[in-house]
């Protein structure tokens, strides 16, 4: 049994990952901005007979809050050897409308957060001589996405960070991979649909997707569960697309 930390575990993909890792036998800690949803998911996991804790009010773009949350997890569940950097936020803004504050905020939530969380947890992984990091990026980093230059730049940064950190940490028994999801039915996707930013409904796009459906959060969780497993130890620095064939 290992200790796993999932950021943004109160909703969507992060919730599915937290549920899956807990059912695979890991003590699972959910770090989320929203205390209520983090606690709700931890409760769901405990109701199934697994171990979970929530550290709500953790803004992953704030280093002090990340460090404090990781200390809380360490005290209750012991050092974490699995980290899933999933928390993220989108936004749709015409390029010339983006100001420094918005740009910096988007990078802080989607990219700097990965750097903060990894720096807080990697020392424990090095001590253990074993670790698994999975960073949730985005298929938009491959395809580009109009009105999302800030978000896509941040997610492309996550891919570069993943590849470089994998090279550095490989000799310490730690793997680092990234899953760029594409078109997964979560509150984030439905929010984009309701803002008219998908260029059609979710159902319309599902019809155009090679596997003829939208992704489910559990699709991402399944890939993540494999990447954090013992048997995935020879996979590192990789970009494992889970997108129904929308990006190849
Ligand atoms: P979601 O349902 O909106 O869930 C995101 C979670 O992250 C929410 O619980 C949110 O909390 C939390 N969060 C946001 N900002 C945070 C912060 N600063 N600190 C801590 N937690 C924060 O979205 P999702 O679709 O599951 O997305 C999960 C990840 O997949 C994101 O990184 C997203 O960019 C990526 N992704 C998703 C898709 C897709 O098709 N859904 C595609 C590509 C990439 P609140 O509820 O308080 O906002």
CA distances 205 to 70, 212, 220, 227, Å, are: 39, 9, 18, 28
pLDDT tens-digit series, residues 47-80: 999 999 999 999 999 999 999 999 999 999 999 9
Report how far apart the first and last C-alpha atoms of the chain are (Å, whole number).
35
> What was the pLDDT predicted at 229?
98
Separation between Cα atoms, residue 217 and residue 6, nearest integer Å: 14
pLDDT, mean of residues 88-101? 97
Residue 199 — very low, low, confident or very high, per pLDDT cuts 50/70/90?
confident
Separation between Cα atoms, residue 246 and residue 43, nearest integer Å: 35
Residue 114 — very low, low, confident or very high, per pLDDT cuts 50/70/90?
very high
pLDDT tens-digit series, residues 129-159: 999 999 999 999 999 999 999 999 999 999 9
Specify whether the CB–CB gap between 186 and 216 falls below 8 A: no
Specify whether the CB–CB gap between 14 and 31 falls below 8 A: no
Q: How far is the CA of 165 from the centre of ligand 1 (A)?
A: 22
Specify whether the CB–CB gap between 242 and 16 falls below 8 A: no
Backbone angles phi, psi at 118, to 5 degrees: -65, -40
> What was the pLDDT predicted at 116?
99
For ligand 1, is residue 67 a contact (CB within 6 Å)? no
Q: How far is the CA of 174 from the centre of ligand 1 (A)?
A: 25
> What was the pLDDT predicted at 248?
86
**At which residue do the structure tokens 């590192």 appear?**
236
The pairing of beta strand 52-56 with beta strand 174-179:
unpaired
For ligand 1, is residue 86 a contact (CB within 6 Å)? yes
| Token reading at 14 | 């992060």
In 3D space, the residue among 13, 20, 23, 10 whose CA is nearest the CA of residue 216 turns out to be: 13
pLDDT, mean of residues 159-181? 98
The pTM is what?
Answer: 0.98
| Token reading at 54 | 């929530």
| Known catalytic residue at 234 | no
Query: Three-state SS for 83?
Result: strand
Residue 194 — very low, low, confident or very high, per pLDDT cuts 50/70/90?
very high
Report which protein residue has its CA nearest ligand 1's atom 3: 188
> What was the pLDDT predicted at 158?
98
Specify whether the CB–CB gap between 16 and 186 falls below 8 A: no
Report which protein residue has its CA nearest ligand 1's atom 32: 88
């Amino acid at each position: 049994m290992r200790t796993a930390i999932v950021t943004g575990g109160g909703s969507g993909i992060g919730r599915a990952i937290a549920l899956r890792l807990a059912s695979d036998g890991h003590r699972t800690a959910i770090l989320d901005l929203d205390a209520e949803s983090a606690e709700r998911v931890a409760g769901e996991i405990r109701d199934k007979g697994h171990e979970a804790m929530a550290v709500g009010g953790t803004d992953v773009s704030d280093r002090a809050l990340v460090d404090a949350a990781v200390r809380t997890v360490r005290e209750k569940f012991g050092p974490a050897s699995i980290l899933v950097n999933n928390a993220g936020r989108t936004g749709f803004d015409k390029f010339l409308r983006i100001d420094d504050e918005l740009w910096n905020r988007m990078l802080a939530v989607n990219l700097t957060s990965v750097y903060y969380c990894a720096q807080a947890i990697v020392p424990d992984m090095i001590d253990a001589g074993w670790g698994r990091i999975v960073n949730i990026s985005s298929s938009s980093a491959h395809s580009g996405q109009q009105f999302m230059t800030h978000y896509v730049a941040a997610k492309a940064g996550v891919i570069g960070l993943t590849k470089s950190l994998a090279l550095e940490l490989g000799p310490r028994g730690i793997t680092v991979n990234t899953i760029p999801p594409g078109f997964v039915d979560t509150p984030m996707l439905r929010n984009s649909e309701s803002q008219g930013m998908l260029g059609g409904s979710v159902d319309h796009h599902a019809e155009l997707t090679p596997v003829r459906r939208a992704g489910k959060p559990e699709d991402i969780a399944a890939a993540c569960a494999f990447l954090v497993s013992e048997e995935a130890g020879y996979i590192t620095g990789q970009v494992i697309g889970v997108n129904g064939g929308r990006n190849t």
